[in-house]
Amino acid sequence: MACGHCAVEHPVGTRCPEVPSLEGQHHGPLVLREAVGSGPLGTVYRAEHGPSGHLFAVKVLHPRLAARPLVRAAFLEEARRLRGLRHRHVARVLDARPGPQGLPCLLMEYVEGEDFTRLPVPLPPGEVVGLLAQVLEALEAAHARGLVHGGLSTECLRLTRGERRVKVLGFGSRAVLSARLTPRERACGMVVGSPSFLAPEQWAGLAVDARTDVYALGVVGYLLGTGRLPFGFGRVGAMSPVEPHVLEPRVQPALSAVLLRALAERPEERFEDARAFREALLEGVGRATARTRTSRGAVSIFGDVLPEDGATPMHAALREAASASRQEEEAPVGMPPEATAPRMEAPTGLCVRLGLAPDAEFVPVRVGDVTVEGFFAAWAGPLPPLASQLPVELMLGKRQVVGDCDVVRHVTSEEARGWGGASGLYVQFAGESARDLLAHALGVGRVRAAPDAEPVPDAELAWLLVRAAGVEKDPYALLGALPYEDFEQVRRRALSTVRHLSQFRQRSLPEGQRQALETLLRRVEAAHRTLSEPTSRAGVDAARGNLAGVVCCLDAGLSQEHAESLRQTFLSARPLAETRAKALFTQGHALETRQSWAAALAHYAEALLLDPLNVSWLRRYQALRGRTRPSGVMPSVATATP
């Protein structure tokens, strides 16, 4: 198949010569570290601002597309429109200008997390609603500015680390990709987008609007809730999808109806906008449930959704860690985690003017914290966008230098009041001439930076390590698993925990913290082994008084003979337990015959606290509980009172 970048067929696994490798090259003050993704429009690189360590994403337009004036103009025009779109669930676009090799580059917020394509579907309905509601908030903000995504799919929806907030990526890509189509391709009916998520009007080449995004998100919701795509690789004719609640019993009929309306073939039969879709979703499963699922307290740092009263100790620790990192996550893009007030005065005789006025007119500014790389400029007016480029004029004695500088940090008026200083911005120079002048002003030579010192401890990981140490002997707590979950659910919890802990391996960590991380990963894996085999898990559940877990082990194939062997070992360490348990169970049976269901359950539960592996007792207790509380989940023995 021909390459989508240069229309030439290449051997599988080889890099397209039309797409250059730009790792290590500079884009203003940023260094492109590695490519994190490539698509038909461009390659996205993770870029780092060295002095602050802050990460950005830089999308570089493919050279073949950059050579086409219409595509290049559409790329820059969409970037201009998107810079005004600011929402907590949208990956921000900060700037667009030529970068390495003169290729147009889009500077964006770096979103570290995982795409919806990697979620373990189907998800619980409450979690589906919580995720979709966040996306719809982003779409509502975009549609209000006249921006339609038009290419929405699971690949451009990402869950961040920490709070696990949804971020929508790829706004503007559809317009740029459409601009690259030739008249002949348009006449042949070629369209842009992922076939499984394209609305019927897109296949027909008609205009798109907010209802097109509603349709695409309906496909996403159907996939998250059922584990299947409603139309496979694309809709054909007037076909109707299977109702979601037929494929997945956990999906409520009301939620099923909402998703099917979003998937209506005709736009006028769908929700008229994102707000109507979101309100219908919240009503579909109940507002209280949706609030619990999307609240900060109910979503762990590992992305698991838990009931407020069922959170394990490990999840409680993870939620606290997410809360502790909230301030850093919500800081303006480009600002280091802990900013300090400017302290150093400017060198004597240095005069600086920046292009801050309309039409980049130079205005004199008072500067501080001057280094050979840049300085702080006091400015009370509107601050220019982060990562934007400004003209700068430096004068020292009879020497004058004019060049460009990049905005790398803001000091807002609120921060300035807290410091008792001035608001303004930090800039970094894009040219060597300004650096040489400042080196002369500071009386220093241009020398290489000292080798990097030992990395500082990662605050988020340190918090997790401390909390995990307190629950290291509890396998359920280490996996963030609930006591009544079956073996498949426990396996998914373990894989999710290992995957997200492993992300810390990519960070710069001191050696001691890296070793502690590896130790924690080994403990998590050991906990998974313990809870993944019915015999070993039954022993743990018996010691915990977890009846639901013992039932899971029996349902998973633990034979009555093995259970009895474990029971004898359990009772041998508790010589008086069996006699007391028999007395309690006999009393419970008498109460059951008199139809005193609640009292009987209480006596059975107390008996099973002493003899939790007595299979016949457990089945009787389970049967009675099922008759009296058909919708309940069997709790642990410690809470198994009526």
Q: Are residues 434 and 467 in the same domain?
A: no
Count of helix runs (H) and strand runs (E) in the chain: 25, 16
- pLDDT: which is higher, 291 or 516: 516
* pLDDT, position 428: 77
137 and 272 belong to one structural domain: yes
With tokens 């209480």, the residue in question is: 602
d(CA 460, CA 639): 33
For the chain, give the mean pLDDT.
Answer: 76
On whether both 227 and 123 belong to a single domain, the answer is yes
- Across the beta sheet with 42-49, what order do the strands follow? 26-27, 30-38, 42-49, 54-61, 104-109, 93-98
Instruction: Report which residue type is found at 118.
Output: R
Q: Kindly state whether residue 486 falls inside one of the protein's structural domains.
A: yes
CA–CA separation, 483 vs 493, rounded Å?
A: 12
- Name residue 389's beta-bridge partners: 406
Q: DSSP class of residue 448?
A: P
| Burial class (CB within 10 angstroms; exposed 0-12, middle 13-18, buried 19+) of 188 | exposed
Span 567-589, mean pLDDT? Answer: 86
Residue 634 DSSP one-character state: P
Domain CATH number, residue 81: 3.30.200.20
Q: What is the CATH number of the domain that holds 571?
A: 1.25.40
Within 403-533, residue ranges assigned H as helices are: 413-419, 432-442, 459-469, 475-479, 487-502, 511-531
What does the pLDDT read at residue 270? 95
> Within this chain, do residues 60 and 185 fall inside the same structural domain, yes or no?
no
Domain endpoint, select from 89, 109, 129:
109
Average pLDDT over residues 47-71: 85
| Domain boundary residue, one of 413, 442, 471 | 442
- Kindly report, residue by residue over 253-304, the tens digit of the pLDDT: 999 999 999 999 999 999 999 999 998 988 756 443 434 333 333 333 333 3
Tell me the average pLDDT across 452-467: 66
* Same-domain status, 422 and 485: no
**Residue at 628 is within a domain:** yes
What tokens appear for 230 in the block? 């409603």
In a domain, 595, yes or no: yes
Res 376: pLDDT: 85
Do 155 and 274 belong together in one domain? yes
Do 101 and 145 belong together in one domain? no
> Cα–chain-centroid distance for residue 224?
15
Tell me the mean pLDDT in the region 540-568: 87
H helix or E strand, kind and range, residue 80: helix 69-82
Asked whether the predicted pLDDT for residue 85 surpasses 80, the reply is yes
Instruction: State yes or no: cis peptide before 364, omega within 30 of 0.
Output: no
Q: Please report, rounded to a whole number, the percentage of residues in the chain having pLDDT higher than 90.
A: 12
Residues 465-498 have pLDDT tens digits of: 766 776 677 888 888 788 888 888 888 888 878 8
Kindly tell me the sign of the dihedral angle through the C-alpha atoms of 478, 484, 490, 492. negative
Per-residue burial over 138-174, b if 16 or more Cβ lie within 10 Å, else e, is bbbbbbeeebbbbbbbbbbbbbbbbbbbbbbbbbbbb
H-helix segments, 301-420: 313-324, 326-329, 413-419
Q: In this structure, which amino acid lies at residue 154?
A: T
What whole-number distance in Å separates Cα of residue 497 and Cα of residue 637?
27
pLDDT at 453: 54
Distance of CA 512 to the CA centre of its chain: 27
Domain end point (choices 274, 294, 314): 294
With 0-12 CB in 10 A as exposed, 13-18 as middle and 19+ as buried, what is 189?
Answer: exposed
CATH number at residue 379: 2.40.10.220
Number of domains in the chain: 5
Do 239 and 259 lie in one domain? The reply is: yes
Q: Are residues 403 and 264 in the same domain?
A: no
pLDDT value at 20 more than 90: no
Sorted by sequence, the CB contacts under 8 Å of residue 215 that are 6+ apart come out as 199, 200, 262, 263, 264, 267, 270
Quickly list H helices, 376-458: 413-419, 432-442
Return the pLDDT at 301. 30
CA 325 to chain centre: 14
Query: 7 in a domain, yes or no?
Result: no
The count of other CB atoms within 10 Å of the CB of residue 490 is 24
CA distance 175 to 182: 14
More confident site: 175 or 57:
57
Q: Is 15 inside any structural domain?
A: no
Residues belonging to the chain: 642
Among 97-106, 108-117, 135-144, 321-330, the minimum mean pLDDT is found in 321-330
Q: Does residue 301 sit within a domain?
A: no
Helix, strand, or coil (residue 355) = strand
pTM for this predicted structure: 0.49
Q: What is the 3-state secondary structure (H, E, C) of 205-225?
A: CCCCCHHHHHHHHHHHHHHHH
**Cis peptide before 534, with omega less than 30 degrees from 0?**
no
Q: Which residues of 581-620 are buried (b: 16+ CB within 10 A; e: fewer)?
A: beebbebbeebbeeeebebbbbbbbbbbbbbbbbbebbeb
Q: Express each pLDDT in 344-397 by its tens digit.
A: 567 888 899 998 876 667 899 998 878 777 888 999 888 887 767 788 888 888
Instruction: Give dist(CA 527, CA 538) in Å, integer.
Output: 13
Answer whether 384's CB lies under 8 Å from 423's CB. Answer: no
158 pLDDT more than 80? yes
Task: Report how far residue 376's alpha carbon sits from residue 118's, in angstroms, rounded to the nearest whole number.
Answer: 43
Phi, psi of 26, deg, nearest 5:
-100, 145
Q: Does residue 8 lie in a domain region?
A: no
CATH number at residue 191: 1.10.510.10
**For 466, phi and psi rounded to 5 degrees?**
-65, -45
Q: Say if residue 620 is in the same domain as residue 604.
A: yes
> Is residue 284 domain-shared with residue 139, that is, in the same domain?
yes
pLDDT confidence tier of residue 80, bands split at 50, 70 and 90: confident
Q: Which two tokens stand for residue 471?
A: 């629950």
Q: Are residues 80 and 122 in the same domain?
A: no
Domain holding 622, by residue range, is 545-639
Residue 441 CA to residue 396 CA, distance in Å, equals: 7
Within-domain flag for 6: no
SS (H, E, C) 161-182: CCCCCEEECCCCHHHHHHHCCC
* Distance, CA of 290 to CA of 526 (rounded, Å): 34
Q: Which residue pairs from 40-47 have beta carbons closer than 8 angstroms and sit at least 24 positions apart in sequence?
A: 40/4, 40/5, 40/177, 41/65, 41/173, 41/176, 41/177, 42/106, 43/19, 46/110, 47/107, 47/110
